[in-house]
Amino acid sequence: MATYTKVPELSLKHYIEGSPEEKQNFNEQLFAGIKHYGFIILKDHPVSTDLLDTAYSQLQKLYSLPTETKMKYFLNNGGKRGYTPFGTEHAKNNKHPDLKEFWHVGRDLEPGHELYERYPKNIWPEELQEFKSTFQELYKRLEATSDIMLESLTYSLDLPKDYFKTMTQDGSTVLRLLHYPPIPEDADPNCIRAAAHEDINLITILVAATQTGLELLDRDGKWLPVETEKNNLIVDAGDMLSRITNEVIPSTTHRVVNPKGENTSRYSMPFFVHPHPEANLTCLDSCKGEKALYEDIKAEEFLMQRLKEIGLT
């Protein structure tokens, strides 16, 4: 098994614009990185610096609003859309709440779409005029990036090129806008910004945060920091990808630790890529080996099970 001392860094230009050799090398490095290490860092991607700067500016404005204003957008709906207050979510099998608050932006569908009534509607804060357009555009750009990443994985998994594109078409993918406030003086010493956990979905694309603190548990059982330049993207594997690959690509345990220096806010924007709710999480033939480790289950059923485990249903 490969051993690394830092997260592998890949240029998406090598896949999009590179020679056949560069594209093949990107495919191999992406697969090896998330299989053996859990995370990769992606540079030269299609999300502009200007868009990211605007998004973080909007985040700071959002979380500067008074608590009573933010609570107008809390629907107590399991965090599906809009605002989820500080201390609501906890990691699986951990009773201590995470020290964070967040806002969810999901897919916009037109009336008449088969999933229009099934998906919750997005909520937009009326106090911030640029919020809606900014995060609709960011959602679109991150989804385009995720499509490329998943397409790249098909080569190593012996799948049709459009396998994941079909699975995630109109999927319940969600963009989470996170704020980790300064640690309160009376915070439970057992609580950290985000306790050790694995993501539920296929892959997560994380815009590099405004502060350090993200750590991954490598395959040798060591916690290592995940650090990169602010406009790069970080990609990791979730439980759904682990499940369908029969643990060939394990989901990646990670956490966000409390600041060791100045006690200031941390902002982060993970994009959780989910399948269509009716998609079957079936073990891939290329990964089955002697037997499938998990029974087939629909994506929505698996999602609901996991949301219950982390306190969001």
Distance CA 28, CA 94 (A): 36
Per residue in 280-307, pLDDT tens? 999 999 999 999 999 999 999 999 898 8
Structure tokens at 253: 């345990």
pLDDT at 276: 96
Contacts 24+ apart (CB under 8 A), 10-16: 10/40, 10/41, 10/42, 10/43, 11/42, 11/43, 11/44, 12/42, 12/43, 12/44, 12/45, 12/46, 12/145, 12/148, 13/44, 15/148, 15/152, 16/148
Residue 16 has pLDDT above 50, yes or no: yes
Percent over 90 (pLDDT), the chain: 67
CB 216 within 8 A of CB 224: yes
What are 32-47's pLDDT values in tens digits?
999 988 889 999 999 9
- Flag the least confident range among 105-114, 187-196, 277-286: 187-196
Protein fold of 9-309: Jelly Rolls (2.60.120)
pTM, two decimal places: 0.93
pLDDT(80) > 60: yes
Stronger pLDDT, 145 or 193, i.e. the higher one:
145
Q: What is the structure's pLDDT at 2?
A: 47
**For residues 193 and 256, is the Cβ–Cβ distance under 8 A?**
yes
Is a pLDDT exceeding 70 seen at residue 4? no
pLDDT digits (tens, 9 = 90+) for 119-171: 999 999 999 999 999 999 999 999 999 999 999 999 999 999 999 999 999 99
Q: What is the pLDDT of residues 209-262, one digit of tens each?
A: 777 888 888 878 888 888 888 889 999 999 999 999 999 999 989 898 888 877
Which residue from 184, 166, 228, 14 is spatially nearest to 87, judged by alpha carbons? 184
Helix (H) or strand (E) holding 5: none
